[in-house]
Amino acid sequence: MNRCLVCKNIVKPFINFGEMPIANAFICKKDINTEYKFELKIGFCNECKMVQLFEQPAREKMFHENYSFFSSTSNYMIEHFKNFCKTVKLKQNLNDKSFVLELGCNDGILLNNFKKSNIGCLGIEPSENVADVAIEKGLNIIKEFFDKNLAEKILSKFSKTDTILSANVICHIPYIHSIFGGVKTLLKENGLFIFEDPYLGDVIEKTSFDQFYDEHVFLFSAISVRYIANLYDLELIDVDPQITHGGSMRYTIAHKNSKQISTKVSKLIAKETNNGLDNMQTYTSFETKVNKIKKDLIDLLKELKKNGKKIVAYGATSKSTTVTNYFGIDSSLIESIYDNTPIKQNKVSPGKYIPILPYEQFRNSNPDYVLLFAWNHSREIFEKEREYMGKHRKWITYIPHVKIH
């Protein structure tokens, strides 16, 4: 019997993806026999309404000196974080006397914008290799996991913060009480905690099941974020939908009664309730929808291979690990995956061991069909590859349903 990581009530499972490797653990062929795997099972808590993993691997297995996700490889994300910085500066009226803290700053893609604006900033990043990239940009980085103990150390060495930021990080952290306790410790009386993560409402609406993998221990809704904030005398005061990561939500949290609550919060919570995000019945139908996508995609790939078509994939994403392993897609269906992240290249995909080749070789591969694993960047990618794909090569996507473009 699993207990909720937030409220300790019973969590009921609604989909089990089975044995799964670490999503970002792109490995060399020689390491296949020692690959770590765990059971990827997802559940729902009817008390606090939190969707969560039943089991998450130890954090050191996911975030380490060979972590393979670098935010700055996407031009779209570079612009997104520039705009995020502008929004925060205006909202908080930040200046050269302000202090901003980012939790999980990756390679400094967001924090560097504050540095360029002469705003005092500090980043927390436990994955050493990406932290080093941020340090090379001149950023002040602590290479540790954030929790309440670290918050107290930061407070003793620096000061309370005007703004605490995080992007696609809070959903990774199972010890969420220590995170909110640390935020409560560090945040000035008029400070804001602003974080964005993949949004549960989009996952359910689009059946974007590949948002479930080892790093995403939680999928948040406004209902569940409000619940955890209230436990720490904090409150959810604003919400802003984002298109990043296939559909995200930006949550703004403040000390209770310190800021006016936007009407957008109550409107989103009413929408979530109307869409059944607070009801187990919504989640029990999710597996059926996922399995239809699975059947449709496998049937299509097998039919294309039967007809002698060459199929490759685009983007060795974290999400692709859930797709290939749950669907049983290997190199008999997809010859190779092309990716522009050097640390992934000339390795194989987790669990199914499909060769990962440098993006530079993609346009010489001459495929008939390209399966887009990086579907959340489809607009950017379709435009980039429009001339090469032409009329004779086709894209395949699978969210929200299988489609040939």
* pLDDT value for 148: 95
* pLDDT value for 304: 98
* pLDDT value for 195: 98
**Which secondary structure element, helix H or strand E, spans residue 133, and what is its range?**
helix 128-136
User: When comparing pLDDT for 367 and 67, which is higher?
Assistant: 367
| pTM score, whole prediction | 0.91
Nearest CA to 170 out of 182, 179, 160, 158 is that of 179
List, in order of start, the domains of the chain with CATH numbers.
Answer: 71-284 (3.40.50.150), 308-404 (3.40.50.720)
pLDDT in tens, 28-37: 888 888 888 9
Minimum mean pLDDT range among 58-62, 255-259, 365-369: 58-62
* pLDDT value for 370: 98
Res. 68: pLDDT tops 50: no
CA angle 102, 108, 110 (to 5 degrees): 65
* pLDDT value for 64: 44
Cα R_g (the chain), whole angstroms? 21
* pLDDT value for 59: 61
Please give the span between the terminal C-alpha atoms of the chain, in angstroms, as a whole number. Answer: 44
Res. 67: pLDDT tops 60: no
* pLDDT value for 325: 98
Secondary structure class of 261 (helix, strand, coil): coil
Mean pLDDT of 74-96: 90
Mean pLDDT of 47-54: 97
**Widest distance between CA atoms in the chain:** 66
* pLDDT value for 73: 62
| Distance between CA atoms of residues 180 and 144, nearest Å | 17
Mean pLDDT of 148-159: 93
List the structure tokens of 387: 């001339």
| Distance between CA atoms of residues 80 and 196, nearest Å | 12
* pLDDT value for 69: 52
* pLDDT value for 66: 54
pLDDT in tens, 219-264: 999 999 999 999 999 999 999 999 888 899 999 999 999 999 999 9
Res. 62: pLDDT tops 80: no
Res. 65: pLDDT tops 70: no
* pLDDT value for 167: 93
Q: What percent of the chain has pLDDT over 70?
A: 96
- Would you state the torsion angle of the CA atoms of residues 222, 228, 234, 238, taken in this order, to the nearest 10 degrees? -10
* pLDDT value for 246: 85
How would residue 160 be classed by pLDDT, with cut points 50, 70 and 90?
Answer: very high
User: When comparing pLDDT for 67 and 386, which is higher?
Assistant: 386
DSSP-derived secondary structure for 63-125: SSTT----GGG-HHHHHHHHHHHHHHHHHHT--TT-EEEEES-TTSTTHHHHHHTT-EEEEE-
* pLDDT value for 1: 67
